[in-house]
């Protein structure tokens, strides 16, 4: 038996939405030993269906949830939030399944309304590095979710990176603002470093390479140095009165990066609250 426990050909996992995030998850599950016969994917997009058939031979792909004649053990909801209303009636009939949603802003209360208050629902927020198995996903469960079902969700989402749980759903807005939207902040940091490199005279191609490799290399170093706080790594490369310190004096000034980052995260959190339903 794999870490995916109850999921099997007789009680399959149904993945609703085989887009970017759905197909990244599917690749992770199959790589970790989930049998292709134990998965059914529903996606109306013929291009997505063709891509999935190639990516995951043996996995059944249907164009609509209504087309399945199966009794799922788990239903993974990976459609855009605005598509969720359209999916609910067809999945609500599988009331004894575990529902795992990765849709931004769709609350546990929304699912209780749509699926019935007895449905076991986990709401998760992954992020885009999941596409290469390096994601960070945070989950919250409703009261109907049993311990074994939590472990199953940890295994399913762990197939594309790290998994953490929170008890209070209201923290999901902060999670969205930090790890959900966060990769874009880092991409923008690369853009800014590249623009600054160009502005101080480096040729465009070299400026782009230096910015990209510096952020990627620093990220890898942080990951390889689990026991060292990022602040320690920073101090290690900052000689008194040296070049790094000169730049950090600007970045760490009273109106420098820290308050800017805080404003950015607060703005994302407010928007996450507004978009939640």
Ligand X SMILES: NC(=O)c1ccc[n+]([C@@H]2O[C@H](COP(=O)([O-])OP(=O)(O)OC[C@H]3O[C@@H](n4cnc5c(N)ncnc54)[C@H](OP(=O)(O)O)[C@@H]3O)[C@@H](O)[C@H]2O)c1
Which stretches of the chain bind ligand X, using CB under 6 A?
A: 16-22, 42-45, 48, 65, 78-81, 83, 86-87, 102-104, 125-128, 180
Alpha-carbon distances of 148 from 2, 7, 91, 141, 155, rounded to whole Å:
13, 12, 22, 12, 11
Quick one: which of 117, 63, 108 has its CA closest to 90? 63
CB of 247 to ligand X, least distance (A): 31
**For ligand X, which is the closer residue by CB, 127 or 149?**
127
Do the Cβ atoms of 115 and 144 come closer than 8 Å? no
Name the residue whose CB lies closest to ligand X: 19
Min dist CB 92 to ligand X, Å, is 13
Q: Which is nearer to ligand X, 141 or 182 (CB)?
A: 182
CB of residue 115 to ligand X, shortest distance in Å: 15
Nearer of residues 27 and 127 to ligand X, judged by Cβ:
127
Q: Which lies closer to ligand X via its Cβ, residue 44 or residue 158?
A: 44
Q: What is the nearest approach in angstroms of ligand X to the Cβ of residue 62?
A: 9
CB of 258 to ligand X, least distance (A): 26
Cβ distance to ligand X smaller for residue 42 or 141: 42
Helical axes 46-55 vs 20-31, angle rounded to 10°: 20
In a 3-state reduction of DSSP, which class is residue 205?
helix
Cα gap 199→57, rounded to integer Å: 49
Residue closer to ligand X by CB (options 5, 133) is: 133
Q: In 17-50, which positions are buried (b, 16+ CB within 10 angstroms) versus exposed (e)? A: bbeebbbbbbbbbbeeebbeebbbbbbeeeebbe
Q: C-beta of 48: minimal distance to ligand X in Å?
A: 4
Q: How is residue 60 written in tokens?
A: 């059944």
């Amino acid at each position: 038996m794999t870490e995916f426990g109850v999921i099997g050909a007789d009680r399959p996992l149904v993945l609703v939405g085989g887009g970017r995030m759905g197909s990244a998850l599917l690749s992770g599950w199959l790589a970790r030993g989930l049998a292709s016969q134990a998965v059914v994917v529903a996606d109306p997009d013929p291009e997505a269906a063709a891509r999935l058939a190639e990516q995951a031979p043996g996995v059944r792909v249907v164009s609509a949830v209504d087309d399945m004649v199966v009794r799922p053990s788990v239903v993974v909801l990976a459609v855009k939030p605005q598509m969720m209303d359209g999916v609910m009636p067809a999945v609500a009939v599988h009331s004894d399944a575990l529902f795992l949603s990765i849709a931004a802003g769709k609350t546990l209360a929304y699912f209780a309304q749509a699926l019935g208050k007895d449905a076991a629902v986990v709401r998760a927020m992954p992020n885009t590095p999941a596409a290469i198995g390096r994601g960070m996903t945070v989950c919250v469960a409703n009261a109907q979710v049993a311990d074994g079902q939590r472990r199953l969700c940890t295994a399913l989402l762990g197939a594309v990176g790290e998994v953490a749980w929170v008890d209070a759903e209201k923290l999901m807005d902060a999670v969205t603002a930090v790890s959900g939207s966060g990769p874009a902040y880092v991409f923008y940091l690369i853009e800014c470093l590249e623009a600054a490199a160009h502005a101080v005279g480096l040729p465009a191609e070299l400026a782009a390479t230096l910015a990209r490799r510096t952020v990627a290399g620093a990220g890898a170093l942080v990951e390889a140095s689990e026991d060292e706080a990022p602040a320690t790594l920073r101090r290690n490369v900052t000689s008194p009165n040296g070049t790094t310190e000169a730049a950090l004096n600007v970045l760490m000034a009273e109106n420098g990066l820290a308050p800017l980052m805080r404003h950015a995260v607060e703005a994302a959190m407010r928007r996450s609250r507004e978009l939640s339903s």
